[in-house]
Amino acid sequence: MATFFFCGIGGIGMSAIALYLKKTGHVVCGSDRSFDQHINTDMQHRLEKAGIILFPQDGSGMNEHIDVVVVSTAVESRIPDIQKAQELNRPIRRRAEILADILHTHVGIAVGGTSGKTTVTAMVNHILCFAEQDPLMINGGLSLNTYGTDDISNLHLGQGKLCVIEADESDGSINLYTPAISVVTNISLDHKPIHEIRPLFQNFLNRTTQGIVTNADDPETQTLQITHPHHIRFSLNDPTVELFADDICIFQKDMTFKVNGQKARLPMIGRHNIENALAALGACQLAGVSLETGIMALASFKGTARRMQTLGTEKNITVIDDYAHNPAKIHATLDALSTLPGRLICVFQPHGFAPTRLMKEELLHMLKQTLNQNIIWVMPDIFYAGGTVAQDISSQDIISPLQEAGKQAFYVPRTEIPTYLKQIAQAGDRIIIMGGRDNTLTELGYSVLTTLKEN
């Protein structure tokens, strides 16, 4: 038994590992500045309920009894907890290093890709649970399905030999994983330029031991050199691959389609979610689950929090919460929701100054091609989590070119968004709250619902 201190424990990836360590007998404590600011309270309560001890992020929780200090890439060295840990000469390890240790004590399934990996990770876990393989899952999002005594969680503490994780490339930590089975959903611009992340995925696949699943429809993924004898490709366009979906019908709340001729149903919408389902089916096939069993499991998959999650409806106006934060993900969300009638009012909060700077031109190009008379685009200020990052770009740098192109695009301060949406929304509209990193966006969605309800 060891004592771990998590600095930034409220993060979705950090919290899952902290919960795993606590539930496997270790002493776990930590801090998070969001808790100090009295936000992200749902996660705070979840951790406290599990018996994790939380401290202010002021160094007060750090002492000589801490065996390991765990940090994420979002944690700066100037934070008092880290400074105190260095003074006490406490070992400091990255979140991904701990996750790699856990993965490598199991038969590991690592799900990578720029988009879709959280949903695919949850789908793989769901299929494996349905197939009674009881895996361990450590995910970057909350699964809406529950298993046994589990609450809705980013952790499923299974007792089987398999472990499925979300493998993040944004900080390069994907380099730490040597999985038995790997998945690459797609490769697109996000936190790093394409030329930097392409070799990360290539090396990730090169280290895989048992089998590989890739997207045959993604141009970047197709450039990867794959020689592994157990390679499953999935596609919505090429019937010659190992997993092919066609005969797609999209309804209000679900979709039907065929996989290699077998009828399937998924209680989600969006063609990208069919791709996610194929990726999960491929990974589970490599783990020994039949395609028929995998398809049966998908029919009861509820999704993950903040992935086109409906928060509620007031006065025939529906509010949807979505994690989309890069051009590819935003386009997938808009494409999925545009298949249904009604206007879309999209509230997008960029998830950082550096990502906004990197993605600006591609985002603008996509939005100019995608926005139409039925889509209203709204942006508050860029999310700022603290630190010394250069604040040399703003949401107005996105809004102004869109307005010049004749699009319905508006900057609105975040505090004014609920009132603004109440003024412009009409019966039949869908309001989508989009953005990454900031867990309080869900709270914004519920605030919008409350405001819509007011007379």
Residue 219 amino acid letter: P
The domain total for the chain is 3
Residue 117: partners with Cβ closer than 8 Å, 6 or more residues away = 111, 140, 166, 167, 168, 183, 185
Q: Do 189 and 80 reside in the same domain of the chain? A: no
Domain boundary among 276, 298, 320: 298
Domain boundary among 51, 70, 94: 94
Q: Do 336 and 391 reside in the same domain of the chain? A: yes
- Which pLDDT belongs to residue 272? 93
**Could you tell me how far CA 318 lies from the centroid of its own chain?**
22
pLDDT higher than 90, residue 170: no
In a domain, 378, yes or no: yes
Q: Do 208 and 317 reside in the same domain of the chain? A: no
Number of H helices, E strands in the chain: 15, 21
C-beta separation of 103 from 179 below 8 A: yes
Domain boundary among 70, 94, 118: 94
pLDDT one-digit tens code per residue, 180-219 = 999 999 998 666 677 788 899 999 999 999 999 999 999 9
Residue 130 amino acid letter: F
Q: Do 344 and 437 reside in the same domain of the chain? A: yes
Place of tokens 């690592």: 110
Q: Do 262 and 349 reside in the same domain of the chain? A: no
Q: How confident is the model at residue 98 (pLDDT cuts 50, 70, 90)?
A: very high
In a domain, 304, yes or no: no
CATH of the domain at 391: 3.90.190.20
| Burial profile 356-376: b = 16 or more Cβ within 10 angstroms, e = fewer | bebbbeebbebbeebbeeebb
Token readout for 449 is: 């619902």
Q: What percentage of the chain carries pLDDT values higher than 70? A: 98
Q: Do 221 and 331 reside in the same domain of the chain? A: no
As a whole number, mean pLDDT of residues 344-361 equals 93
**Which of 86-90, 138-142, 146-150, 350-354 is predicted least confidently?**
146-150
pLDDT higher than 70, residue 432: yes
What mean pLDDT, rounded, does the chain reach? 93
Q: Do 367 and 417 reside in the same domain of the chain? A: yes
CA distance 403 to 395: 12
Q: Do 177 and 230 reside in the same domain of the chain? A: yes
CATH of the domain at 39: 3.40.50.720
Domain residues for the domain of 441 are: 309-453
In a domain, 99, yes or no: no
pLDDT higher than 80, residue 384: yes
CATH of the domain at 250: 3.40.1190.10
- Which pLDDT belongs to residue 147? 85
- Which pLDDT belongs to residue 191? 61
* Phi-psi label, residue 274: left if phi above 0, alpha if psi -120 to 50, beta otherwise: alpha
Q: Do 63 and 111 reside in the same domain of the chain? A: no
In a domain, 352, yes or no: yes
pLDDT higher than 90, residue 385: no
In a domain, 225, yes or no: yes
pLDDT higher than 90, residue 339: no
Q: Do 53 and 177 reside in the same domain of the chain? A: no
DSSP structure class, residue 383:
P
pLDDT higher than 70, residue 22: yes
- Which pLDDT belongs to residue 437? 81
In a domain, 90, yes or no: yes
pLDDT higher than 70, residue 30: yes
Residue 69: partners with Cβ closer than 8 Å, 6 or more residues away = 4, 5, 7, 62, 81, 82, 85, 90, 91, 92, 93
pTM of the model: 0.90
CA distance 348 to 395: 9
**Which of 60-74, 207-221, 286-300, 377-391 is predicted least confidently?**
377-391
Q: What percentage of the chain carries pLDDT values higher than 90? A: 81
* Phi-psi label, residue 40: left if phi above 0, alpha if psi -120 to 50, beta otherwise: left
Q: Do 401 and 332 reside in the same domain of the chain? A: yes
Q: Do 89 and 108 reside in the same domain of the chain? A: no
- Which pLDDT belongs to residue 150? 63
For residue 340, what are the CA distances in angstroms to 251, 284, 337? 8, 31, 6
Q: How confident is the model at residue 449 (pLDDT cuts 50, 70, 90)?
A: very high
CA distance 117 to 141: 10
Q: How confident is the model at residue 105 (pLDDT cuts 50, 70, 90)?
A: very high
**Which of 153-157, 164-168, 169-173 is predicted least confidently?**
169-173
- The partner residues of 313 in beta bridges, in order of sequence, read 318
What is the per-residue DSSP string for 124-174? Answer: HHHHHHHTT---EEEEEEEES---TTPPSEEEEE--SSEEEEE---TTSGG
